[in-house]
A = this chain, B = another copy of it.
Amino acid sequence: MAVGDDTPGVLHPVPGLRLATVSAGVRKPGRKDLVLMALDAGANVAAVFTRNAFCAAPVTVARAYLQASAGQPRYLLVNTGNANAGTGQAGIEDARACARAVALAGEVSAEQVLPFSTGVIGEPLPVQRIEAAIPAAFAALSSDGWADAALGIMTTDTRPKGCSLRFAAGGKDYVITGIAKGAGMIRPNMATMLAYIATDMAVDRTLLQALLGAAVETTFNRITIDGDTSTNDACVLVATGAAGNDALCDPASALCSGLREALETVCLALAQGLVRDGEGASKFVTVQVNGGREEQECLDVAFTIAHSPLVKTALFASDPNWGRLLAAIGRAGLADLEVNRIAVYLNDVLIASEGCRAGSYTEEQGVAAMAPSDIVIRIELNRGDSEATVWTSDFSYDYVRINAEYRT
């Protein structure tokens, strides 16, 4: 299941970056499960990674290599089918071996290759099968490879996620293209699952990292499918510089505004695409909390609602069960919460106020508001000026089936 129609559309090539998607047979023979991205010399790379303490071996290695290469790696290697997580020191060696194999073929140092993995946790990575597929990957590198790569990085995803824009900034035209994967174990913390975004703009590396961090904070870090933060989350932003502009260094410039806006658009589209393809999802739900004393308490309420199994099963049933919403708000831990000031809306229908069902509310209105696949739950706390929005999906039979059957 997945919510709505959400095909990526055209994914524009980004000059200075080529991609290849081939089969290494990591978990299933014949599945195109290995993606190689080649960056022209001079590209700057920023990345954010999972904050899960049990981070996967490739996260540890990619983080170290990104630093060792001074933010200028030349290759990104992504395999699906195996997360190389929970694999201890052997997993670290395996991730390094994959990087080394790419480095040999590409005639760069191993530290210039960032490895990424996604898939089943706890199985040894089949390094030899990956090494064997690397020549084919090099042979297939093409600037037109984004759509195939979006397919290649999928695991339980039912469809590829991508977003691509051409934008003008500072009197010049640029392109930005991104892909992402992920449908479960999604509650990004600092980054999400796997996402790769590239622009042809030349951007100073420190500023690139700051722009990525800010964009992730209000997009990938605001989605949740099941509240489980992955061991392998990574979001990578490449600035190839192929557009030939003077490198962007001024965060206050029009050039930077243009990139910031385009980057946020791409990140938001990818993040929402993950939720729309959430495991078993039949609803795409925007939880908007306004009128808080500070942003954090708005986020606390929004995520408590978004993680509540009772709210999520009611959403699956299209049941306007506002009592479960009130119960979730009430346990979100806000100090001095005056429940009588809170108003709860489904889309634009006021369903609860003053601690009970709104006088104007009818069950018919609620049923009508719950019918579409896209639903907005809006909470007005009426105690301040802060606000926050998160996006989530529902809990369905298919959610249980997918996660009970996965790995078996």
A residues sitting closer than 8 Å to B (CB atoms) are 51-55, 83, 85-91, 120-122, 184-185, 187, 189, 226-231, 307-310, 313-314, 316-317, 319, 321-324, 326-331, 334, 337, 339-340, 352, 354-357, 395-397, 399-401, 403-405, 407-408
Please determine whether A327 and B400 come into contact, CB atoms closer than 8 angstroms. Answer: no
A87 proximity list for chain B (CB < 8 A): 355-357
Q: Which 3 A-B pairs have the closest CB atoms?
A: A121-B323, A54-B330, A88-B356
A321, B328: Cα distance in complex, Å: 29
A121 proximity list for chain B (CB < 8 A): 321, 323-324, 326-327
Please determine whether A231 and B355 come into contact, CB atoms closer than 8 angstroms. Answer: no
For A280, give the chain B residue with the smallest CB separation.
Answer: B400
28 pairs, CB–CB < 8 Å, chain A vs chain B: A52-B331, A55-B330, A85-B326, A86-B326, A86-B356, A86-B357, A87-B355, A87-B357, A88-B355, A89-B355, A90-B356, A121-B321, A122-B323, A122-B357, A189-B331, A226-B308, A227-B307, A228-B309, A228-B328, A229-B330, A229-B331, A230-B327, A231-B330, A316-B400, A316-B404, A317-B404, A317-B405, A317-B408
Please determine whether B331 and A86 come into contact, CB atoms closer than 8 angstroms. Answer: no
A55, B401: Cα distance in complex, Å: 34
So how many copies of this chain end up in the complex? Answer: 2
Least Cβ–Cβ distance between A340 and chain B, in angstroms: 8
A319 proximity list for chain B (CB < 8 A): 404, 407-408
A403: which of B313, B356, B408 is its contact (CB, 8 Å)? Answer: B313
Please determine whether A53 and B339 come into contact, CB atoms closer than 8 angstroms. Answer: yes
A356 and B407 in contact, given A52-B327, A231-B327, A399-B309 (Cβ under 8 angstroms): no
A228: which of B90, B229, B310, B317 is its contact (CB, 8 Å)? Answer: B310
Please determine whether B355 and A54 come into contact, CB atoms closer than 8 angstroms. Answer: yes
A316 proximity list for chain B (CB < 8 A): 400, 404
For A307, give the chain B residue with the smallest CB separation.
Answer: B227
Interface centre among A229, A307, A316, A355 (most CB of B within 10 A): A355
